[in-house]
């Protein structure tokens, strides 16, 4: 992670500015997950291109087709090839683990299930982690005094990330299908119905977080009780990875600069910013974030 973060930032520093979402954040998280899974370096450009072309998950502009199936099939095709290769010739990556995994009774999972799992693992952490990088950087640049404070005390970086996950976690909602009649609070949920759970709303609930729930507050007590990664049996499997990715990239950005600023020509002056959010009912994040740097 550190190496990729440094490489990307060195490229950007040479220009003194960048569009953080596409030039750094998405490329970075794609390289990291590709490494962990074991996607060969020569195929990664094709993945990056496909992801750059695809629409954001949960698009409200294309509601009939809110999931980009083209990208899923594209990535799935590659995963099928890798899994077949690794089952014959396993290495030390995650794809090899999947390809050689067995159920407790010794039977092997269907190849199609493994392809879906590998594709989901690759895709699940793309937009979410990349959008979190943008959301965190926006707060670091826009909250008065915050950037200086975390430059002086890096222990605060994870606190900033947790508070941004609460206020603007990159997943706004998760869904459940009720398999039997049940209740959520005092609301009846009949078997067969679907529930959309508004994580973004829960994370700003004044009954839980107090009257300042809508405000950014550093070192908020019990901050890790936010629900940005869900809760229970289906808690985000990639939460530790996402946290490590964003902490590493933000620290490298701080190391290599003495100041990071939001571009005023692109987003306007402080207090009058104009940010292009993705039109999605699932993802909370920016389509673009233009920043300028002062090298360290």
Which residues lie near ligand HEM (CB under 6 A)?
A: 33, 120-121, 124-125, 128-129, 132, 169-171, 174, 199, 228-230, 234-238, 241-242
Least Å distance, CB 29 to ligand HEM, is 7
User: b/e per residue, 136-175, with b = 16+ CB within 10 A?
Assistant: bbbbbbbbeebbeebbeeeeebebbbbbbbbbbbbbbbbe
Taking the complex as a whole, the smallest distance from the CB of residue 282 to ligand HEM amounts, in Å, to: 9
CB of 165 to ligand HEM, least distance (A): 7
Q: Which residue is nearest to ligand HEM (CB)?
A: 238
CA distances from 101 to 39, 83, 185, 218, 259 (A): 18, 11, 39, 43, 47
Shortest Cβ 34–ligand HEM spacing (Å): 11
| φ and ψ at residue 171, rounded to 5 degrees | -110, 115
* 169 vs 267, beta carbon nearer ligand HEM: 169
Which residue, 117 or 143, is less far from ligand HEM as judged by CB? Answer: 117
- Compare residues 168 and 292 and give the one whose CB is closer to ligand HEM: 168
Identify whether the C-beta of residue 36 lies closer than 8 Å to the C-beta of residue 93: yes
Q: Which is nearer to ligand HEM, 33 or 286 (CB)?
A: 33
Please tell me whether residue 103 adopts helix, strand or coil conformation: coil
Among residues 9, 260, 12, 16, the alpha carbon closest in space to that of 148 is found at: 260
Provide the minimum distance between the beta carbon of 131 and ligand HEM in the complex, in angstroms, as a whole number.
7
Smaller CB separation from ligand HEM, 58 or 169: 169
């Amino acid at each position: 992670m550190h190496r990729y973060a440094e490489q990307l930032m060195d490229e950007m520093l040479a220009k003194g500015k960048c569009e953080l979402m596409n030039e750094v954040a998405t490329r970075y998280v794609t390289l990291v997950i590709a490494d962990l899974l074991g996607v060969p370096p020569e195929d990664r450009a094709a993945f990056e291109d496909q992801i750059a072309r695809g629409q954001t998950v949960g698009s409200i502009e294309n509601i009939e087709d809110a999931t980009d199936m083209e990208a899923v099939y594209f990535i799935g095709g590659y995963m099928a090839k890798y899994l077949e290769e690794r089952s014959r010739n396993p290495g030390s990556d995650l794809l090899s683990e999947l390809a050689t995994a067995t159920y407790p009774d010794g039977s092997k999972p269907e190849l199609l299930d493994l392809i879906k799992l590998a594709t989901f693992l690759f895709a699940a952490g793309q937009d979410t982690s990349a959008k979190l990088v943008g959301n965190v950087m926006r707060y670091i640049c826009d909250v008065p005094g915050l950037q200086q404070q975390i430059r002086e005390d890096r222990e605060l970086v994870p606190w900033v990330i947790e508070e941004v996950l609460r206020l603007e976690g990159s997943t706004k909602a998760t869904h459940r299908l009720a398999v039997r009649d049940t209740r959520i609070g005092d609301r009846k949920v009949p078997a067969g119905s679907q529930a959309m759970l508004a994580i973004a709303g829960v994370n700003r609930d004044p009954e839980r977080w107090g009257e300042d729930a809508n405000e950014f507050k550093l070192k908020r007590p019990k901050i890790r009780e936010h629900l940005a990664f869900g809760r229970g049996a289906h808690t985000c499997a990639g939460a530790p990875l996402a946290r490590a990715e964003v902490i590493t990239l933000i620290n490298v950005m701080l190391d290599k600069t003495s100041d990071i600023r939001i571009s005023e020509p692109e987003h306007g002056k402080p207090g009058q910013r104009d940010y292009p959010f993705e039109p999605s009912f699932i993802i909370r994040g920016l389509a673009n974030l233009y920043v300028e740097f002062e090298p360290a």
